[in-house]
Amino acid sequence: MSNEKKWRANIRSVVPYVPGEQPEDQDVIKLNTNENPYPPAPGVRKMLEQVDDLRRYPDPAASKLVHAIADYKGLKDSQVFVGVGSDDVLAMAFMTFFNSEKPILFPDITYSFYDVWADLLKIPYRTMDLDEDFQIRPADYYGENGGVIFPNPNAPTGLLMPLESITDILDHNQDVIVIVDEAYIDFGGLSALSLLDRYENLVVVQTFSKSRSMAGMRIGYAMASEELIRAINDVKYSFNSYTMNQPSILLGAASVADDAYFKETTGRIIKTREWFKKELTRLGFVFPDSRANFVFARHETVPAAEIFEAAKKNKIYLRYFNKPRINDYLRITIGTEEEMRALTDFLDSYLGIS
């Protein structure tokens, strides 16, 4: 190797996470990134008008937001950690809790950032195959390991694991940290939060991006014992003291204050999702029973890649994963009722149903 190229040997090389496409054209139906189709709570916009003094650093502890979340969830402030989206929170959790030489465990079909973080941080890992119905098998997580993480509902399948199964995994992993990633829990599931008192090694992660319509503000949070939150804060303050900006702190707290709006919009999405499932069945699709704000669907005769490209040409953006086991599925975000009707009208025409 020549002298001028030796420095390349010291560059970290990883295969990055690939986010959903963000088209510049605003005149599209965007159902590919699981964003909420409705605006944030009215109080968020009102608070935005009051944000000022941006020349100063924000509160490094994000105390107003931490307190709002803790109060809403029935926890102590010392049991809540906030970060720049749940991705930031999870990355901090990986750095804090997964430091064994043993491999961490997560599903083979799951959020595709997990293996990226593991590779980046040089954390050994092993993926556990979902069963033929895309379900997590708790017994697969009984063995010796360096930690466990899984989403519930899972992504991209949308399947919800019952609390009994999560308890089963926790009972068999009391010597490691277990992280339950609940980005989609508000669309039809029971949170593992109720298990915190029983399991001091449990971390529950949630986000404002989906159910609270604030993906653009990047707010995520973890809930756990005071000991675990203290540990993750120590890592955060060693990495970047000011991770949460002032507008996010104030607007996030304003969002939590409007519980009625939160429940109204998530309820609308759930109602549209259930209607859309019936339409998909009529159109010849099969899919797991999603409890998220998306549906993971496969057509019985038409390849997913073809539908994906045809929809895109008609300015309807869906998510397609060209990966083993799921390369004939589309992940379809639940938009407004009008957007979903436009999609079903397109599918009716494209598939020759009517």
Preceding omega of 153 cis (within 30 degrees of 0) = yes
pLDDT given at position 15: 80
Gyration radius from the chain CA atoms: 21
pLDDT at 135 over 80: yes
What average pLDDT does the segment 279-286 reach?
Answer: 98
What 3-state DSSP class applies to 59? Answer: coil
What average pLDDT does the segment 161-185 reach?
Answer: 98
Confidence of residue 2 (pLDDT cuts 50, 70, 90): low
pLDDT given at position 3: 62
Higher pLDDT pick, 106 / 243: 106
pLDDT at 54 over 70: yes
As a whole number of angstroms, the distance between CA 61 and CA 125 comes to 32
Query: Per CATH, which fold does 42-257 belong to?
Result: Aspartate Aminotransferase; domain 2 (3.40.640)
Beta-carbon contacts of 20 under 8 Å, excluding residues fewer than 6 positions away, are 32, 33, 34, 317, 319
> Of 319, 294, 286, 290, whose CA–CA distance to 305 is shortest?
319
> Of 308, 74, 77, whose CA–CA distance to 194 is shortest?
74
Beta-carbon contacts of 48 under 8 Å, excluding residues fewer than 6 positions away, are 247, 251
CA angle 328, 333, 334 (to 5 degrees): 130
pLDDT at 168 over 70: yes
- In terms of CATH architecture, what is 19-39+260-351? Alpha-Beta Complex (3.90)
Confidence of residue 354 (pLDDT cuts 50, 70, 90): low
Query: Token pair for residue 153?
Result: 């509902």
As a whole number of angstroms, the distance between CA 105 and CA 143 comes to 10
- 31-35, 50-54, 242-246 — which one is most confidently predicted on average? 31-35
pLDDT given at position 12: 80
What average pLDDT does the segment 167-191 reach?
Answer: 97
Record the pTM: 0.94
- Helices assigned H by DSSP within 107-258: 114-120, 163-171, 226-239, 246-257
pLDDT given at position 23: 80
- State the CB neighbour count (10 A cutoff) for residue 327: 13
For the chain, what is the mean pLDDT?
Answer: 95
CATH 3.90.1150.10 residue window(s) in the chain: 19-39+260-351
pLDDT given at position 26: 78
pLDDT at 20 over 90: no
CA angle 304, 346, 339 (to 5 degrees): 100
The number of CA neighbours under 13 Å toward the Cβ of 223 is: 27
pLDDT given at position 150: 98
Residues of the chain with pLDDT > 70, as a percent, come to 99
Is the separation of the CB atoms in 29 and 344 below 8 Å?
A: no
Q: What is the pLDDT of residues 142-158, one digit of tens each?
A: 999 999 999 999 999 99
Written as one letter, the residue type at 62 is: A
Q: What is the pLDDT of residues 312-353, one digit of tens each?
A: 999 999 999 999 999 999 999 999 999 999 999 999 999 987
As a whole number of angstroms, the distance between CA 218 and CA 86 comes to 8
Higher pLDDT pick, 26 / 75: 75
Query: Token pair for residue 328?
Result: 């004939």
pLDDT given at position 4: 66
Q: What is the pLDDT of residues 120-129, one digit of tens each?
A: 999 999 999 9
CATH 3.40.640.10 residue window(s) in the chain: 42-257
Confidence of residue 11 (pLDDT cuts 50, 70, 90): confident
What average pLDDT does the segment 151-173 reach?
Answer: 98
Q: What is the pLDDT of residues 261-271, one digit of tens each?
A: 999 999 999 99
